[in-house]
Amino acid sequence: MQRACRSCSLHELCLPLGVSDTDIDLLEKIVHRSRPLPRGKYLFREGDPFTSIFVARSGAVKSFTVGQDGSEQIIGFHLPGELLGLDGLTQGVHAASARTLETVSVCEVPFERLEETARQVPALQHQLLRLMSREITKREEQLLSLGKQAPERRLAVLLLSLSVRFSQRGYSATRFLLPMARIDIANFLGLAAETVSRLLRRLQDTQVLAIDGRAVDILNLPELRALAGAEPEEPAREACR
Amino acid sequence: MQRACRSCSLHELCLPLGVSDTDIDLLEKIVHRSRPLPRGKYLFREGDPFTSIFVARSGAVKSFTVGQDGSEQIIGFHLPGELLGLDGLTQGVHAASARTLETVSVCEVPFERLEETARQVPALQHQLLRLMSREITKREEQLLSLGKQAPERRLAVLLLSLSVRFSQRGYSATRFLLPMARIDIANFLGLAAETVSRLLRRLQDTQVLAIDGRAVDILNLPELRALAGAEPEEPAREACR
DNA sequence: CGACCACTTGATCCCTATCAAAAGATGTGG
DNA sequence: CCACATCTTTTGATAGGGATCAAGTGGTCG
């Protein structure tokens, strides 16, 4: 248990990257590892005082804000090793809520103590800054995808993003289970659930992927990449003219 | 010149916030202050090696990526005191380009030396982390606005954001000059330039604001706030039914 | 003064949201 | 283990809004 971070399979994606074994000891001392949380539980809520950041060891989490009409606005999906809650530091309260999409094991890292430790361990400071930078980059990519791309491309970008992230975590890049419902995908992409359903149908009809419920099988990865933005206009669409 | 940061009017918005006068000396030693850059110059380009972050002392900057068809995809507009280039740390190269929208005076902060100094000065480390957190929050807000809101609301959100940011910098919250062209606004909001033009017309027709070229005068700030998202549905629209 | 942009205004078409309904999945209690 | 209720997903039909195409206006800089 004391060597938790060192033996964690997410070592290379998470805070310990680049930190020496002896320094990881310092990090491990401040990390709280909780028991598994069932689906639908909150890690934190919008407006809660910001004291810690969180990382899932296993299981996916969604983050979202709630409009005054009560509707969820999904900001992102977080796989194991991806930091959660960093947006709370600015205001001192969490800017979004985070809820588990499935059974999730989380690590909680008290932020003040992390800051202290980072001062003593340059490599940890650097990795923390790098991970924050990654969060910025990630949101910029989302911004480009959501703000300016066609619905089909947005969906392709999301599927590809999941594919890449699953493969970084040692899972198949072409066969995986979606951790979220269609309606969550739609909400995240700024589309109607019906549109997502129809887009997925089209992707199946064109042999790009096969879907059974939440099980995705990417049959034509190059084509999915193309749809996600490799070239300006979709190439194979004779039937539409 | 040596006391540049301390006497800077952006003191409260920028890296020095919360740092003691003696420690600001350490920061000032590593900051390069350039002569004013004319409109249309690059601070850095996508793919450039990441070595520094930038802050404008005066003048606005846009950041954007370029699709392989050569089209700009504007990610954000940056007013004085807002950090630029933090998204480059993850990959070691800048994730976007930054170009001046008008004459701009910039400070360049070499990142490695900033990291070192932050280790020695806890308040600086904290403020750096806070500012990175703000960049994350800012992009999340953009994400919510761009991804899920109606065009009219997106525009209202942008105008309101500029209003708030100008007033934080000591300018009027209701009368200001847009630093960017309509086409940039459209690109940023994921809309056609024609749509932006029509939306602005509607906002003028409803007495929410007056526009002459790039000069904006917000006549009805509460209504603009309402349009930007205070309540689920727009309230005063009898003429449309 | 003319050329080049940025901006505005108008007309049309396509795409996606919306409404509606059915089919499928999930879970609960009898 | 089944029957029922609820929720998710799919499919269909319709209408509206914004992109696009097109033309015209206005401003700026040489």
What is the predicted pLDDT for the residue at A3? 67
Nearest CA-CA distance, residue A198 and chain B, Å: 19
CA distances from B127 to A54, A91, B3, B83, B130 (A): 21, 12, 19, 12, 5
* Through-space separation of residue B87 CA and nucleotide D16 C1' in angstroms: 39
pLDDT at B113 over 60: yes
Nearest CA-CA distance, residue A125 and chain B, Å: 8
Q: Are the beta carbons of B84 and B61 closer than 8 angstroms?
A: yes
* Through-space separation of residue B197 CA and nucleotide C4 C1' in angstroms: 20
Mutate one of A135, A155, A191 to test the B interface: name it (highest B CB count within 10 A): A135
Mean pLDDT of B113-137: 96
What is the predicted pLDDT for the residue at B70? 83
Across the interface, whether the CB atoms of A139 and B144 are under 8 A apart is answered no
Report pTM.
0.91
Instruction: Say whether the CB atom of B45 is under 7 angstroms from strand C.
Output: no
Q: Within a 13 Å sphere around the CA of B179, how many CA atoms are in the beta-carbon half?
A: 23
Across the interface, whether the CB atoms of B146 and A146 are under 8 A apart is answered yes
Strand C nucleotides within a 7 Å radius of protein CB atoms = 6-11, 15-20, 25-26
Could you tell me the domains of chain A? 5-145 (2.60.120.10), 150-228 (1.10.10.10)
pLDDT by 10-residue block (mean), chain A, 241 residues:
79 92 93 90 95 95 89 94 96 96 94 96 96 96 92 96 95 95 96 96 95 94 90 39 30
For B18, other C-beta atoms within 10 Å of its C-beta total 14
Nearest CA-CA distance, residue B72 and chain A, Å: 11
Across the interface, whether the CB atoms of B140 and A96 are under 8 A apart is answered yes
Nearest CA-CA distance, residue A128 and chain B, Å: 9
pLDDT at B237 over 90: no
CA distance B93 to B118: 21
CA distances from B234 to A217, B152, B174, B225, B226 (A): 43, 10, 21, 11, 7
Spell B182-194 as b/e; 16+ CB within 10 A means b.
Answer: eebbbbbbbbeee
Q: Which residue is nearest to nucleotide C17 (CA to C1')?
A: A192
Which nucleotide lies at the shortest CA–C1' distance from A195?
Answer: C16
Across the interface, whether the CB atoms of A132 and B129 are under 8 A apart is answered yes
Q: Which of residues 102-161 of B touch strand D (CB under 7 A)?
A: 150-152
* Through-space separation of residue A197 CA and nucleotide C26 C1' in angstroms: 19
Helix (H, G, I), strand (E, B) or coil at A168: helix
Q: Which residue is nearest to nucleotide C25 (CA to C1')?
A: A213
Handedness of CA B219, B223, B227, B229 (dihedral sign): positive
Mutate one of B51, B62, B86, B87 to test the A interface: name it (highest A CB count within 10 A): B87
What is the predicted pLDDT for the residue at A238? 37
**Banded model confidence at residue B4, pLDDT cuts 50, 70, 90:** confident
Strand D nucleotides within a 7 Å radius of protein CB atoms = 8-13, 17-22, 27-28
Token digits for A171? 């899972």
**Residues of A at the B interface (Cβ-Cβ below 8 Å)?**
65, 67-69, 73, 75, 86-91, 95-96, 115, 118-119, 122, 125-126, 128-130, 132-137, 139-140, 142-144, 146-148, 187-190, 229-232
Please report where in the chains the tokens 């070691």 appear, as a residue. Answer: B92
CA distance B18 to A99: 34
What is the predicted pLDDT for the residue at B232? 37
Mean pLDDT of B141-167: 95
Collect all residues of chain A within an 8 Å Cβ-Cβ radius of residue B90: 130, 133-134, 137
Nearest CA-CA distance, residue B122 and chain A, Å: 8
What is the predicted pLDDT for the residue at B3? 67
Which nucleotide lies at the shortest CA–C1' distance from B240?
Answer: D16
Beta-sheet pairing, A97-100 with B32-33 = unpaired
Token digits for A185? 């995908």
Task: Give the model confidence (pLDDT) of B20-72 as tens digits.
Answer: 999 999 999 999 998 889 999 999 999 999 999 999 999 999 999 998 788 89
CA distance B88 to B51: 9
> Which residue on chain B is closest to A139 by alpha carbon?
B139
> Which residue on chain B is closest to A133 by alpha carbon?
B87
A51-A55-A59-A62 Cα dihedral, nearest 10 degrees: 60
Handedness of CA A198, A203, A206, A209 (dihedral sign): negative
